[in-house]
Every structure is written in C-alpha cells, then in structure tokens.
Amino acid sequence: MFASVTPHPVSPADDVQCGGLARFWHQLGPGSRKRHARARVESQWLAALRVQWQQACQHVGLGLTIHTPSGYTVSVPRIARADLGPPVSFTVQLRPGQRAADITAAAPRLASALGAAGLEVTDRDAGWVTIVLIDPRDECGNGFGDMRDGGAGNGSRLPEIRVA
C-alpha cells in the first residue's frame, strides 16, 4: 500500500512552523494509522453535526431562503469550529443582521431538534456565538459522552437528526 507524503489534514497541530520531515514523520511514523482513523471519525462527526445544525436551523426558522435562477437555498448560521468531546460545543458565525438573542430565543426548539436537553448560548465577538449542548442524560453518564470515541453507548454510529 502506498502512503501519500503530500500535506494531509492530519498534520501536527502543535507545530505550525514544522518542516517537511516532521510532517512526513507525523504522517507515516508510529501511530499514524490511529491518527488518520481518529481524524476520519472526527470529520464524520463534524459533518453529521453540521447537517443536524442546518436542518435544525431550517426547522426553527433561523434560515433565510435565498432564491436563485437555479432554484433556492437556505442560508443558516455556519458552524466554524467544533469541540466534540464532553461537552459538545461549537462556534457559530451568524448571518449578517442576526444577533445572539435570535439563537437564544430559539434555543429550546433547537435543543429538541438536536436531541439535547438544552443549549447554552454565549455571545462572543460581533457575529459569533458559542453553543454548548447540554446532555439530557449527563448525570447518569450515558448521554453524548465524548463524540470522538463514538459517544457513550453509541459505538461508532453517526448521530441521527430528530426534529420535533
């Protein structure tokens, strides 16, 4: 099996100034298969979270329908960064004209659409908010858990959207 030595998404995040040899060692050295597998699972979880977020925002009315000659699309606040391990949190870039109060007002419906007990919305800079999912079964320990490990009790199954 041939392994690529080109820059890969799985590169050392600690050393931004690392050279080609360090990147090569990180890609092909000891533990590289585990790093690649972990990065693949995390990217699948992030993609699933983004799909859930988009569908939930459309459901609660946070999306803006944009008509184009080829049809229409719905613009929703965009997930820029996510931390998948307990608790699940992500940073959202709001659409122009939106405020954190809009997300806070829709938080109960967003939480039920995302399958969470609630959302903690923290206003950051202008146009940015941080959202933390409150686990519905956090006290007994079998809720979301660490999504990087597949979540407690979920195995490696991807999350399913539950829209109320």
Q: What pLDDT, in 10s, does the model give residues 114-133?
A: 888 999 999 998 889 999 99
pLDDT (0 to 100) of residue 91? 94
Residue 155 lies in a domain: no
Q: Is 143 exposed, middle or buried (0-12, 13-18, 19+ CB in 10 A)?
A: buried
Q: What pTM value is reported for the model?
A: 0.67
Kindly report the length of the chain. Answer: 164
Q: Is residue 47 part of a domain?
A: yes
Q: What percent of the chain has pLDDT over 70?
A: 71
**Residue span of the structural domain in which 114 resides:** 20-149
Residue 9 is assigned to a structural domain of this protein: no
Examine residue 4 and state whether it is found in any structural domain, yes or no: no
Residue 58 included in any domain: yes
12: its two tokens: 């050392």
Question: Residue 33 sits in a domain of what CATH number?
Answer: 3.30.980.40
Residue 28 domain-assigned (yes or no): yes
Strand partners, 73: 66
**For position 138, what pLDDT does the model report?**
55
The answer to the question of residue 159 being in a domain is no
For the chain, the domain total comes to 1
pLDDT exceeds 70 at position 146: no
Give Cα 115 distance to the centre of its chain: 14
Domain assignment present for residue 116? The answer is: yes
Residue 37: which pLDDT band, with cuts at 50, 70 and 90? confident
Q: From CA 63, how far away is CA 78, in angstroms rounded?
A: 11
